[in-house]
Amino acid sequence: MTLRLIFLSVLTLIFNLSLPAQPFSQGNFMMGGTLGFSAAESSVDVEAEGVSVSNEGARTTQFNIAPAVGYFLLDRWTLGIGMDYTLNRLREPKDINDPNTDYEKSFDSDLLFGPFTRVYLPVGQDKAFFLEATAGFGSSESQVSIDGVSQTVSNDVLAIGIGPGFTILSNDAIGIEAQLKYNWARSNAEIIFNDINTNTQTYTNQIDFSIGLQVYFARIRPAKVENEKPEPANNIEPTDFYD
């Protein structure tokens, strides 16, 4: 019950602070991100010398979450920090020619932190284009097989992304957005096997399309308390009104 009350209180605070207008003004905040899940499977048909073998192919699942918080330093320009976590799982046959083959399972995960910046170009009152640039630093883990021996390899990752997007705002300043982004990444891995040290550097180029949600907040100002009483106009003493 306590967790439910806390969750409802947070939602109430978000909606009370959301902006009905001018969400991209200097001094405002934005909070949101993307959440994604995908799954794919394949089948393999092998035919040789009149013999046909059907088998399950690779099966993959992917989960991704990328929250972010930003602050508008100027009108239509925000700077913030975000996190990106991705988990991939792969199940594939050891021998596609064997209908009774065993399957190997592997995984890789990425955890990145870094800054981002956005520039908005409003279209009317409730729509806007934006251009976003991101940088991420972190690590990833992947499971590899070397001569039949499974190993977990850690990598240092540097990632940079840039791309345009479009957002549609509700009356409560909640934006649903779509974004197309180019991502470049470099990872360094060190593998030690049979007393042999191998350093591997991998470069990745990728185009991503994502759907996200952002909530825009008004700036919060402290209340002012007037401790001094205003002076009477024209230097008239208050007792003069009773003469």
pLDDT in 10s for each residue of the chain, 243 residues: 565 555 555 445 444 444 444 789 899 999 999 888 888 777 767 676 666 667 676 788 888 899 999 999 999 999 999 999 988 888 777 666 666 677 777 778 889 999 999 999 999 888 999 999 999 999 887 766 666 666 777 788 999 999 999 999 998 889 999 999 999 998 887 776 666 677 778 888 989 888 999 999 886 544 344 445 555 555 555 555 455
For residue 183, what are its two tokens? 């991502």
> Is 241 in a helix, a strand, or coil?
helix
In a domain, 77, yes or no: yes
In a domain, 235, yes or no: no
Displacement of CA 200 from its chain's centroid (Å): 27
- State residue 89's pLDDT score: 85
In a domain, 186, yes or no: yes
In a domain, 237, yes or no: no
Displacement of CA 41 from its chain's centroid (Å): 25
Q: Which domain holds residue 88?
A: 2-220
Using a cut of 0.75, tell me whether the model's pTM lies above it. no
- State residue 177's pLDDT score: 94
* Structural contact between residues 99 and 55, judged by C-beta atoms closer than 8 angstroms: yes
Q: How many CB atoms lie within 10 A of CB 23?
A: 26
In a domain, 238, yes or no: no
User: Residue 137: which of 112, 169, 118, 115 has the closest Cα?
Assistant: 112
- State residue 222's pLDDT score: 42
Q: How many CB atoms lie within 10 A of CB 134?
A: 22
According to DSSP, residue 21 is labeled: S
Q: Residue 113 and residue 138: Cα distance in Å, rounded?
A: 6
In a domain, 213, yes or no: yes
- State residue 223's pLDDT score: 37
User: Residue 159: which of 131, 134, 180, 189 has the closest Cα?
Assistant: 134
- State residue 53's pLDDT score: 64
In a domain, 226, yes or no: no
In a domain, 233, yes or no: no
Structural domains of the chain, count = 1
> Is 22 in a helix, a strand, or coil?
coil
CATH code (residue 158)? 2.40.160.20
Q: How many CB atoms lie within 10 A of CB 196?
A: 7
